[in-house]
Structure 1
Amino acid sequence: MRKILFLGVLYLIFLNPSFGQTTDPSAINLANLNTYLDSIFSNVGKNDPGCAITIIEHGNILVRKNYGMANIENQVPFTHQSVVRMPYSEAREFISIAALLMEKNGILNLNDKVRTYFPDLPDWSESVTLWDLLNHRSGFVDEWATLLLMYNSMSNRFDTEQFLRLLYNQPTPEIEPGKGYMYSNSDFGLLRLIMEKASGKNLPDWIERRLFGPLNMKDTRMQKNSLDIIPNRATFYEGKEGGEYQHAKVQKTSPGGNYFILTTANDLEIWARVVKDPNSEISEAIKILMSNVRQMPGKENHFIIGYTHRIINNQQVEIHEGVNEYSYLIHIPSKGLSLITLWNKYADNFGKVNQAITDYLLQIRPEASALTTFITKPINVPESELSIYTGNYRWKNRVSWEGLNQPRKFSSLFIADGKLMMRYSGNYVIELTPVAKDIFYYIDGEDGFGAQFLFKPEYHNGPLQLTVNFDDGYPSDIMLKDTESAWQPTKKELAEFTGKFYSQHLDYYWKIELNENGKLILKSSNLPDTELEPDGFNQFHYIGESYPGSGYDRWILYNKNEQGTITHLTAWSGRVMHHRFEKQ
């Protein structure tokens, strides 16, 4: 779900004979640049979250512009002084640099073993270093992905003692330490605790004194308490169906989730200069980091500390962003340009808008229309014909930034009230409107993008392949319909999978029962009753929640001994590799 700012009308600006015309043909026409930016944000008004933009050229400010609201309810305009708590993973850059500064000051060494600081960590972690934490190759469980086996909200309180106990009691690594890869918030949570133990200081205070303070970034800080009152703080929003906004739900307070960075566009102007200053200790730290950190799978040229390197129009472009493409700083070294964009909302189009502005600065002409035109006029298709499209569709060639394991992602198509429905992912269900033979259409009510669903055999007489194309140019999704006979255990066979199961790691029980409708139901003390759906031999799928109403896919695989008796089950998902529950 991606809210897209319409860019097609901007084509006329590029066709204007005055575009880019100055005494230097590569220079920027400021009047046209301002017009361009105003056009991009023309639909951002008094009922929308805001954005602050700065463009710097060779150290000089070219443009400062602000759009939308810092607080919609009280009609507070967004400005360059608005303090924004960036979503989450954007903090990786600042925490990583702070760790390098501690090493420079002799406080710690990134080759140190983690058990040097916390000797009660499990024996299997003996070889794990601080560099392994920075590279997400420690083997420690992801804090909240694991805790969601017990809870359905990442907003629950989880203290340092509980966090450490979770790691102390971990029986086996999620991946091979030092060699594998799994994105784990626990890595940066443990890194934070080590930095505090080594320095003897609370990390937000140390970072303020050693990093932000000397740079005079007076409004930038690491979050101490989510309830702190901060002058000029902007409210952070997210979208919902119907195009309205609501307050963002993410309020993690745990060690693995409480390293948010708050900043302003004004302070990011300082940061933009210092990271490109070859004589600064910040740029020196970045060089060391970039020579020691790895790229993240599933994201093109994205390094784990939050930097993405791309070649656009034969020119290097450096992007500072989180894993969800909340890009707040972009450099074009060949032109001495820096672009700062700071928003107070969640959306998937930050990278797209920043890409459009970057293309403009590089004088890359867009296509005549930014959107692909799809057929949208509905046609009538009887339910009997719709049924050929129903079934489970496996996503092809999926590579996830969460881990190196091949994601098992699928979507289900079914008929409800004579309409073809699709459970796209988690609990996100949409209606597909038939518009032509084997072609369906969907318009997203929240983010405004259109999608075409095209069904055709993968090859002659082969299984149906579903290609989902997006009108905004977002990469297509490709899925293949399952043709193998689905495992459909009888009620008697399902009874074999019932019982009580215990996680020694979490000291927590699951109970799995068979209800009167012949469905397996997962029950536990802190979760709502959840139906388990057969999905592969001895395996079941269910939808978990990270926040109420925010569903995601999880699986349970039962394990049997040589006698065919169930001994345990393993729960797994994107960031849970093999969590074991023993049958009681």
Structure 2
Amino acid sequence: MPRKLLVSSFLFVALTCAPALAAPVAATLPRDRHKQVDVLFSQWNSKTLPGCAVGISRDGVLDYARGYGMADLEHDVPVTPRSVFSIASISKQFTAFSIGLLTQEGKLSLDDDIRKYVPELPAYEKTITLAHLMHHTNGLREQGQLLNLAGWRGDDVSTEADVLWALSRQRGVNFEPGTEVLYGNAAYTLLAVVVRRVSGQSLRAFTDERIFKPLGMADTHFREDHTELFSRRAWGYTSREGGGWRLSVSNSDHSGASNLFSTIGDLLKWEQNLLDGRVGGQALVAWARTSGRLNDGTATGYGGGLRLAGYRGLDMVSHDGMDGGYRTESLLFPAQRVAVVTLCNGGNIEAGELARKVADVYLGAHMKDEVPPAVKLADAQVSALAGDYWSPQTDEVVRLEFKDGALRQVGVPTAFVPIGNGAFRPGESMHVWRFSSPRGLSIQDFWPTTRNFIRLTEPMPSASALAAFVGQYRSDELDTSYTVRVADGKLAVRWPRRDEVVLDAVGGDHFVGSLGAVTFTRATSGGINGLMISNRRLRRLRAERLGGEVSIDRAIPAPLSQ
């Protein structure tokens, strides 16, 4: 690590970790704060529901920890503060810190080309560096969606080799490295590979030796085998259609992006390390808490596996997680030296929202109301904005409807709140959806890269016109063929080992379904010559049309070789 960075990092931590700042917090803490926290989680304090564990520390001292709901519905085991959860994407900061430790020792540089360590990857037109991976500015397509489109089912086992197979076949990227920010998991799976190939240890062994044991995090480990058993596990659940719950856990045998298991107590020890640098030192902690930047100098708001956005006027370091039925959130307020960790095992539990409400209880006296106030608009003005919008930038489609007196994304319950000048915020978030006359829409969320859309006004294809899209399409990048047919007046697409996906027409050659947006492409003659599949984390994956039309009955799914 350059000496200049070490010095500036030391100063950064010294300024943000001063113990003197903790005193005002103690003076303003509500006496009934534990009772207020219990009220927040009361909905999940049941013997028939999954639930959460929550922990709060002040200046490294545990202030409150409690479990709500059930860790194991099948065996009537309640959640306790010692329950072990999959913490999902909170895992990323430990992978990043491992890279930082190796950087500190001079064993690698963040400016290194990823192909120096993973030569299996293709030589893209522009170099992808370790820094691009760490800060989500790499442009790689999302690993889970690639495997999905190659025929993996949700409950299939996926390995590091499977991810490398998919990534090594890709000829395209979402964008030129360094020009945008797009959160994804492939980058951190690759960083885990780098840790192993540079250190000679698996990510589990490296983090056990270098991070978890020194910090006394005895209940924390990266899982390398989905069949591994360990005590006090909280199982992940999602709701079952018609009532009840179903088990929802990942079968992945790769780590780096996820697959770390831990407890609230262990994670609070880690949050304290992000203040005092007991492991790694103050300079490395500051490095992890420093934002990456785009090529034009724009801060990404993301450090070493850490989100760096503030909350209600306070500096905050955080990360959320979502994997199967697990929903997790960790928050750290450095100046106030307060940390909140919420680990939940129900897919419909808003762990991030709950964690912020806990922070409101503890730090409300120090916070500001930053959510833009609502303005009144006539229903006719709002309903006129409903429709389908397509992005020439990403090839995504977003669908908006006017429902129950508010504008909403189709399939998403959150109401859009008008805040003036053509802008709306989804619920209480700080995200901004801005409409411009006559057809434009821009979306600004946590990430600094704005996504731009235009309203689709092309006519819907007639029932007879749908026949032109029917046929087989081949993706060499995934070694997979897709069969498109007409079913009940709509297009449907099917590929090996996956259920058929029905596509809704949204205008012209654009369609949407559960796999994202599907845009058919045309040759200069006007005939359909291919299709592209796009969604937020995967853009323009192309499949070329094969000669002739193919009936769905002739498309016999072949077994997928793994």
So what's the TM-score if we normalise by structure 2?
Answer: 0.74
> Partners in 1 of 2:310 and 2:347 — Cα distance?
23
Residue in 2 that maps onto 1:333: 334
State how 1:47-62 maps to structure 2 within 5 Å. Answer: 47=47, 48-62=49-63
Q: Distance in 1 between matches of 2:172 and 2:464?
A: 34
Q: Distance in 2 between matches of 1:578 and 1:101?
A: 36
For structure 1, the 5+ residue unaligned runs are 1-22, 373-388, 430-443, 445-449, 460-464, 545-553
Structure 1: how far apart are the matches of 2:101 and 2:416? 50
SS at match of 1:217: coil
What amino acid does structure 1 have at the position aligned with 2:84?
A: V
Q: Deviations along 1:314-373, whole A, 9 cap, x unmatched?
A: x43333434899554333334333333333333453232222222222244999xxxx9x
Alignment correspondent of 1:489: 461
- Match runs of 1:113-512 below 5 Å: 113-124=113-124, 127-151=127-151, 153-239=153-239, 246-253=245-252, 255=254, 259-278=258-277, 280-281=279-280, 283-291=282-290, 293-294=292-293, 301=301, 305-312=305-312, 315-322=314-321, 328-347=329-348, 349-364=350-365, 393-394=387-388, 405=394, 407-411=396-400, 425=410, 428=411, 486-512=458-484
C-alpha deviation, 1:129, in angstroms: 1.5
Name the CA shift for 1:33/1:151 in 2 (closer, same or farther; >3 Å).
Answer: same
Matched, 1:557 2:542: no
Q: Is 1:150–1:527's contact at 8 Å kept on the other side of the alignment?
A: no
| Partner amino acid, structure 2, of 1:138 | N
Instruction: Tell me the CA shift for residue 519 of structure 1.
Output: 3.7
Q: Distance in 2 between matches of 1:128 and 1:300?
A: 16
Q: Mark the runs of 5 or more structure 2 residues left unpaired by the alignment.
A: 1-22, 374-382, 440-454, 547-562
- Distance in 2 of aligned mates of 1:518 and 1:110: 52
What's the offset of the Cα at 1:28? 5.0
Question: Are 2:528 and 1:566 equivalent residues in the alignment?
Answer: yes
Pick the structure with more strand per residue.
1
1:513 partnered with 2:485:
yes
Deviation of 1:217 after TM superposition, in Å, equals 0.8
Q: Quote the Cα distance in structure 2 between the aligned partners of 1:182 and 1:303.
A: 13
- Partners of 1:115 and 1:125 within 8 A in 2: no
For the Cα contact (< 8 Å) 2:92–2:256, is it kept in 1? no
Distance 1:567 1:207, change over 3 A: same
Aligned-partner SS, 2:288: helix
Whole-Å Cα distance in 1 between the matches of residues 284 and 244 of structure 2? 39
Contact 2:288-2:306 at 8 Å conserved across structures: no
Which residue identity lines up with residue 273 of structure 2 in the other structure? V
Does the CA contact (< 8 Å) of 2:490 and 2:503 recur in 1? yes
Return the offset for 1:493: 3.1
| Shift in CA distance, 69/284, structure 1 to aligned 2, threshold 3 Å | farther
Report which stretch shifted further, 142-151 or 518-527: 518-527
- Residue type of the alignment partner of 1:284: A
Which whole-Å CA distance do the structure 2 matches of 1:177 and 1:300 have between them?
A: 13
Shift of 1:221: 0.7
2:86 is the alignment partner of 1:85: yes
Alignment-mate amino acid for residue 582 of structure 1: E
| Contact 1:52–1:343 (8 Å) recurs in 2 | yes
Letter in 2 for 1:405: T
Identity within the alignment, %: 21
Residue 523 (structure 1) aligned with residue 512 (structure 2): no
Post-superposition shift, 1:138?
2.5
Compute the displacement of 1:267 (Å): 1.2
**For residue 508 of structure 2, what is the aligned residue in structure 1?**
537
CA RMSD of aligned residues (A): 4.4
TM-aligned CA deviation for residue 231 of structure 1: 1.1
1:125 and 1:138 in contact (8 A); partners too: no
Matched residues in 1 for 2:322 and 2:45: separation? 28
Shift of 1:230: 0.6
Distance 1:534 1:113, change over 3 A: same
SS at match of 2:494: strand
Q: What SS class does the counterpart of residue 158 from structure 2 fall into? A: coil
The DSSP-based 3-state class of the residue aligned with 2:101 is: helix
Q: CA deviation at 1:504?
A: 1.2
Distance 1:193 1:484 in 2: 42
CA distance in 2, matches of 1:271, 1:256: 19
Higher helix share: 2
1:395, distance to aligned residue in structure 2 (A): 6.5
SS of the residue 2:36 aligns to = helix
Report if aligned partners of 2:277, 2:284 keep a CA contact under 8 Å in 1: no
Give the paired residue count.
494
Q: Displacement of 1:52 after TM fit?
A: 3.1
Given that residues 291 and 300 in structure 2 are in contact (C-alpha distance below 8 angstroms), is that contact kept between their aligned partners in structure 1? no
SS across alignment from 1:528? coil
| Alignment-mate amino acid for residue 505 of structure 2 | P
Q: For each residue in 1:543-581, what CA deviation from the matched residue of structure 2 results, as whole angstroms up to 9, or x when unmatched?
A: 33xxxxxxxxx2222222322233322221222211111
